[in-house]
Structures are given as structure tokens and as C-alpha cells.
Chains A and B, each alone.
Chain A
Amino acid sequence: MAEICLALVVVGITAYAVLGGADFGGGFWDLTAGGAERGGRVRGMVQRSMSPVWEANHVWLIFVLVMVWTAFPVAFGSLFSTLAIPLFLAAVGIIFRGTAFALRGHAATIREARLLGATFALSSVLVPFCFGATIGGIASGRVPVGNQAGNTIASWLNGTSILIGVLAVLTGAYLAAVFLAGDSVRAGLPDLARAFRARALGTGVVTGAVALGGVFVLRSDARALFDGLTSGGGLAAVLVSGAAGTLTLALVATERYGVARWSAAAAVAAITVGWVLAQAPYVLPPRLTLDEAAASDATLTTLVVSMAIGALLLVPSLWYLYRLVLQGRLDQQFEPLDQRFRPLSAGDDAEPRP
């Protein structure tokens, strides 16, 4: 049962890293899009692609939280008290990001728009970094069991945490570029598709390079994690992830964005699994094992059963949403978010359904 719950947590983290991560990556491209006029088209595309899905994507985070606090309560209490700072920053970042995103489509002047856009973009970088740093703190064995028993600073400001934080930001940017390139093709905007293709290729290469260089960081900073990732199941997962990442680059280079979506997701999934395998059997290395961390069997069974029932409702709903999105049925009219900042809100001036 504990294994099933762990698997569900991994599914949740992966889904959040891919879907939520891509939303954060959208914010990254927003940040780097350049001046109001030059970046207007990129920003418009980010807005258009994210609007219908970001709330649903965000719920994966909630899912991970409730799974962890129900199935592994001791681990939850320990890591939230020790890693309070990055987690608090992430929570605040989420507020800023969600609100700024929801509002900026309604900005009427360039000043309002700049302010909201900057808030949105900066918090889009902050949040994945903080989550990455949190994972780094856990994986490098810096979270002992207890009510704030670990070091509240060094647990997340260390080589491993910074590495994983940076990788989280880059991965999000990479995923977002891949997804946005595909969306641009669908929207019939080849110039934007080219722009995102270039961004995808660029960040793909940079992400790969940082990941390779990171091996040395892990070797000196988190030896146990390094060993786990370079042997057995961990190594296999790393290799799969690398292969999927490379495949994605090739697919993007040849403009096959539909498949690239999936292979990019596979790369993220594989590395998440690799992390879990590398630190097995520990939930909080180097001491708290999965069996010690797990809640009682009655709880785990109840949790799994209720999630299974929930999935019966959830899967068809999600399928319906993504089908509508991928068919373009919920598409907003594309409008560059440039200096005019015409309100771009749901359904205004929609073309009647064909």
C-alpha cells in the first residue's frame, strides 16, 4: 500500500512538473520576451495557451500535498517545518503569479500591464526554483525527522538544492517552448512557431548541459544521491530521461511538436522516478524509510480506494478538457499583448461556432 501511495505521489509530482512546470515556463518566456512591442506576440501566445488550463494544472500540487500529508504525515511535518522558507516563498509566489496572470488580460494601460506582467514573470521563476530547492534539500538528506529539527537555511541553500532549483526553472522553460511551438502551429502563426522552436532548442541544450555538469555537484555535495543515480534503477531512469530529452530535441528540430510533447513529458517523468529510486528505501534520507514514514494500513487503504473512486470521475473530465483544448475548441482569439493591451478576456468577441 505504501508503495502505491508513493507511486501516486510520483505521478502527481510528474504531472505538476510537466503541466505546472510548463505554465511556469510560460512565465519565463514572458520575462525574457523583450520590450513591450517586440515581446507582445510572445506574451499574447503565452496568455492564450495558459488561460483555460492553468487552474486545473495547479491542482496537481494540491494533490501532491494532500497525498503526502495523509500517507506520510511524519515526513510532511518534518519537511514543512525545516524547509519552511522556500515553501513559504513558493506559496507567496503562487499567489502573485495566479493573481497577476488572471488580471493582466484586463490591464488598460502599459504601466498596469508592465507591473502585472513583471509580477507574473518573476514569480514564475521563483516558484519552480523554490520547489526544486525543496527537493534538493530532501534528496541530499538535509531534512531530519522532527519539528524544525534541520537547519532552516542550509537545508535549501546548498549545491544540490540550487542545482535542482535551476534545473526546475530550465525544464519548465523548455517544456513551455515545446508546447507553445505546437500551439502556435495550430493557431496558424508560423513566425511564433519558429520563435518558440528556437527557444526550445536553446533551452533544451542548456538544460542538458546543466544536468551533465550537475553530476559533479551531486558527487561532491550529495554522495548518496549520486551513487543512487549512477547505479541500478536510478541509472536506468537517468538514461531513459536523457534519451527522451535528446529525442525531443530531434523532434523539435524537425518540427514534430505533437510527439515532442509526449517525449518531453517522458523525460521529466523518468528523472522524477530516478530521484525516488536513487533515494530508496528512504523517504527522508538518510534515516526515515518508506515503511517508517507510511501511515497505518487502514489509512493507506482508504486513501487508495477513495483516489480510485475519484479517478473514475476525474479521468473522463480531464480527458474532455484536454480534448477540447487540443481540438482548439476553447481557444481564445490570438491577440498580441503589446502596448495596446486590449482586454483579452474569456469569450469576448468570439467568432460564432462553425
Chain B
Amino acid sequence: MPDAALLTLAAERVTGVLGGGGGPDVLLARRMQALSLAVHIPIVCFGIAFPAMILFVEGLYLRTGDVTYKALAKRWSKVALTLFAVGVVTGTILSFEFGLLWPDFMATFGEVFGVGFALEGVSFFIEAIFIAIYVYGWDRLGRRAHFLCGIPIVLTGFTGSFWVLGVNAWMNDPTGFGVVDGRVVDPKPWEALLPPNLGHELTHMYLAGYMVAGFVVAGVYATAWLRGRRDLHHRAGLVVALSFAAFAAGAQGLVGDWAGRRVAVSQPTKLAAFEGLQRTQNGAPFTIGGYYDADRGEVRYGIEIPKLLSLLADHDPNGRVVGLDSVPPADRPPVNVVRISFQTMVAIGSALGVLAFVFVATVVFRRRLPRTPWFYRAVIAAGPLSMIALIAGWVATEVGRQPWIVYGVMRTSEAVTRSDSLEIGFAFLIVVYVGLAVAVAWLLRRLARRPPETEISSDVREALA
């Protein structure tokens, strides 16, 4: 994007139209935003991936006529409805926070990126409508009609994250507007809607959604499996969820590589922070572990693999990689947070890739499920681990963009509210989220304890009659 490059290079900084700057609580506002996102994002992974899994199981029911599948799909759909409700309320908080925490960002750039959220709104609307019809329509709509009502949920789970990720990708690689004298002019909303970073962010997040939802659900059935419950209900739950997750886990590393190469081009300082790379150099090494010492400007106690970073970022062992010293210290992100998050994500991603491989290889070559209990223990761990990778990835992306809220164009400190009493709101919000987490855990346990047969009591009655 020529004008994006121009923006970054020309150092045309935007000041907020509301007067910008001066808010005392940037760090607190950032924490609050981060907290809310860290609650919202893992939940919406289920909105992204669960509908497809449910529909798959319902499809099995329609093909085989086996009510076990119906019970499973019905049970899952209730869980999905609950999580959807939680996604709705936490997402609402996020929308409010945009205005509450970053009024000047919204006032300055709302006209550039807002349309994406408007389209997101449309897709949530359709999702809310069909999820209600789907869940409350079991046994009340015809079988085919019911199945068809599930399809819009799958599609809107995709489009909902599509637009919001478009906005995030735009913040990371802004396009579609000009800057004159510190003012945003000539917005081109269509262009801002589809920023160049969207491709990898969307694919990567979408796969992450399938990993999180798949591994968490599989973990529930793996627990039951270890306790000896291996009937068709539990088996189907395990295999379907695990297959979705394994497929996504296999592809995730490749997409991550794509993401890394895009970041190298569009946000070189972020990539430098991922790696703790101080100097711009050819044939840059990749360092595993250790920590970045800002005074010395190097990573200490890490294991260095020569030329690997250039190979990864540029697909050329002698390629040139931009270092942190390319920008003044005030324009560098906090390296350690970013770097540790990034390495955590990659480590977990690689481990889960291996797990997925074991599963697929056993099923394909041995034509059975793995027997060792260690496999099932690993599956149980994979759920929380994939969530950690998810949050870590977002921390790497978002903190890695700092000190910019719109990369290279507007500083986060320009965007923040002037309010100086965010502590109260923050403390309040923590209490609310803890309460929410307890409540949801309580409900899901209660749902899980009910024997699956209760889902199909009407079919049983029908059969008896």
C-alpha cells in the first residue's frame, strides 16, 4: 500500500480532534482494554468454531438416524447458546470501552474504520437470530429446516470475526486515509475495510478459534474417557472435537510463518521486538529463551541459532532484518513482554502440532484411537494451552504495536481519555469478570452433569408410544 508506507515514513503524526493527549492513565486504560479482550476472545472462539462442530454432528444424526448424535448436538447447542450470551455481553463491554477509554481515537478515526464494525453488527444480528431459532427450534422445526438454520450461524461466526479483525489489521497497518497538518482527511472506508494484514490475521485467528474450541471440548471428553466412559456419546464428542482441533493445529504453524513474514514488512519494529533484535543486520540469528536487556541492547542467556531469523522472515538465510535501533527508544515497544508472549505462542503451537500429528497418524495408520493415557492427558492440557497461546499471540500483536494505537500514525497516549479515575472502573471490572467466570463455570458443570438422555426424552417417549 503506497500511501501507508508514505504515512509511516513521512512521520505525519495525527493529533486527536478532541484535543488529544494529557490523559494520566494510559497504562491503566491499556490494562483495562487488555483484560476485557482477554475475557472476550477465548469465549468467542466458541462462536467461531462450535457451530460448525455442532452442525457436523447433527449431520451425522441426519445421515445415520442415531439419536446419540442428536443428543450430542443438542447438548452442544445449549452450551453454545450460553457462551454466545457471554460473548454478547463481554463484546458489549468492549464496544463501550472504545468510547470510554479511547474517545479521541474514536473521534479521530471512527469515520475511517467504523464501517467494519457496522457490518460486524449486521452479522451479529443474523447470528443472534439464527442461534435462537436453532436452539429453541429443536423438535419444533422440521429436521431439514432445523439443519438449514444452523448454516447461517456457521457463516456469521466467520463474518463477525472477519470485520473486527479487519479493524485490528487496519490498526496494525493503516491505509485508506490521508494526513494533512495532523488531521485525518479524505477517508476511504472501503480501502480501510480490507487492509493488507487482514489475510494472515484472519486465517491465523480463525484456526486459533478452532484449536481453542476443539481442544477444550475434546478435553472434557478426554476426562470422561480416562474415567472409563467410552460409549458412543463420549467417543463421538471426543473424535469430532479433536479432529477439528487437529486439522487447525496442523495448519497453524504455516499460517504463523506467513504472519511473521507480513509483520517483517509492515511492522518491522514489532518483529524486532518479537526477536529482541537490536541491530539491523543481514543473516540475523534467532534466539530461543533468555531475556532482553535494554541497557546492553541484547538478549542474554538465550540460545542463538545463526541465520534462522533471516531464513524465517525473508526465506533467505542472508536476508536483511530490521532491528530495534531503527527507531528512537521512545518508539520501541516493551520488548520483554512482547518477546516472551511471542515465544510462548510459538512453543505451544509447535507442541500442539505434534499432538495433532500423533492423533492423525494413529487414526490413519492404525485405524483406532491412541491407547496410552498420556495422550488423553495431553489432550486435557491442550485446551488451556491453546488459550494461553491465543492470549499470548494477542499480547504480542497488540503490545508489539505500542506506543502506537494506529501504527506509525497516532500514539496511544494521544487517544486515551482524560479521566483520572480509571482505577475504580478497573477494580470494578475485575470483580465483574471474576463473577462472570464463576457463574459460567457453574452453569457448564450443571449442564454437563445432566445425563445426555435428557436431551432426547421426547424421542424416547415417541419411540415408546
Q: Which residues of A contact B (CB under 8 A)?
A: 51-53, 55-56, 58-59, 61-63, 65-67, 69-71, 73-74, 76-81, 84, 87-88, 90-92, 94-96, 98-100, 102-103, 106, 108, 145-149, 152, 295-296, 298-299, 302-303, 306-307, 310, 313-314, 317-318, 320-321, 324, 329-330, 332, 343, 345-353
Contacts and interface: CB of A to CB of B under 8 A. Distances in A.
A302 to B, nearest CB: 4
B90 to A, nearest CB: 7
A147 B103 contact: yes
A96 B129 CA distance: 22
Contacts of B96: 65, 80, 87-88, 90-91
* The 6 nearest A-B residue pairs measured at CB: A70-B114, A80-B99, A73-B110, A77-B107, A295-B111, A310-B122
Interface string B88-125: 11111101111110011111111110110111111011
B430 to A, nearest CB: 12
Contacts of B88: 55, 58-59, 98
A41 to B, nearest CB: 21
Interface string B333-350: 000000000000000000
Contact of A350 (B130, B138, B419, B439): B138
B458 A349 contact: yes
B443 A320 contact: no
B124 to A, nearest CB: 5
A81 B418 contact: yes
Given A73-B111, A302-B115, A348-B457, A59 B98 contact: no
Nearest to A59: B125
A41 B404 CA distance: 55
A350 B418 contact: no
Contacts of B126: 313-314, 317
Contacts of B190: 302
B447 interface: yes
Contacts of A52: 132-133, 136
16 contacts: A55-B128, A56-B132, A62-B91, A62-B92, A65-B99, A69-B98, A73-B106, A77-B110, A102-B86, A303-B114, A303-B118, A310-B121, A314-B122, A320-B133, A330-B137, A343-B450
A52 B89 CA distance: 16
Given A102-B85, A298-B188, A317 B130 contact: yes
A317 B140 contact: no
B419 A152 contact: yes
B118 A307 contact: yes
B103 A306 contact: no
Contact of B118 (A66, A84, A343, A351): A66
A96 B432 contact: yes
Given A63-B125, A299-B112, A299-B114, A348 B454 contact: yes
A70 B117 contact: yes
Nearest to A57: B128
Interface in B1-35: 16-20, 22-23
A128 to B, nearest CB: 15
A81 B29 CA distance: 13
Contacts of B363: none
Nearest to B190: A302
Contact of B136 (A96, A106, A346): A346
B432 A347 contact: no
B115 to A, nearest CB: 5
Contacts of A149: 18-19
A57 to B, nearest CB: 9
Contacts of B120: 66
A335 B405 CA distance: 51
B82 interface: yes
A193 to B, nearest CB: 22
Contacts of B97: 91
Q: Is the interface of B mostly helix, strand, loop or mixed?
A: helix
Contacts of B307: none
A106 B442 CA distance: 10
A239 to B, nearest CB: 33
B324 interface: no
Interface of B: 16-20, 22-23, 74, 77-78, 81-82, 84-86, 88-93, 95-100, 103-112, 114-115, 117-122, 124-126, 128-133, 135-142, 152, 186-190, 417-419, 425, 428-429, 432, 436, 439-440, 442-443, 446-447, 450, 454-455, 457-458, 461-462
Given A52-B136, A69-B106, A317-B130, 5 more contacts: A55-B132, A74-B18, A147-B22, A147-B418, A149-B18
B90 A95 contact: yes
Contacts of A98: 85-86, 88-89
Contacts of A320: 129, 133
B92 A106 contact: no
A291 to B, nearest CB: 14
A268 to B, nearest CB: 20
Contacts of B447: 106
Given A147-B20, A329-B140, A306 B128 contact: no
A147 B415 CA distance: 9
Contact of A298 (B131, B187, B442): B187
Which of B119, B122, B450, B457 is the most central at the interface, judged by chain A CB atoms within 10 Å of its CB?
B122
Contacts of A96: 432
Given A63-B121, A302-B190, A347-B139, A99 B86 contact: yes
A67 B118 contact: yes
B406 to A, nearest CB: 14
A317 B111 contact: no
A348 B133 CA distance: 15
A106 B441 CA distance: 13
Contacts of A317: 125-126, 129-130, 152
Nearest to A12: B121
B81 A147 contact: no
Contacts of B130: 317
Contacts of A299: 111-112, 114-115, 187, 189
A230 B84 CA distance: 45
A307 B119 CA distance: 7
B111 A329 contact: no
B110 A70 contact: yes
B117 A352 contact: no
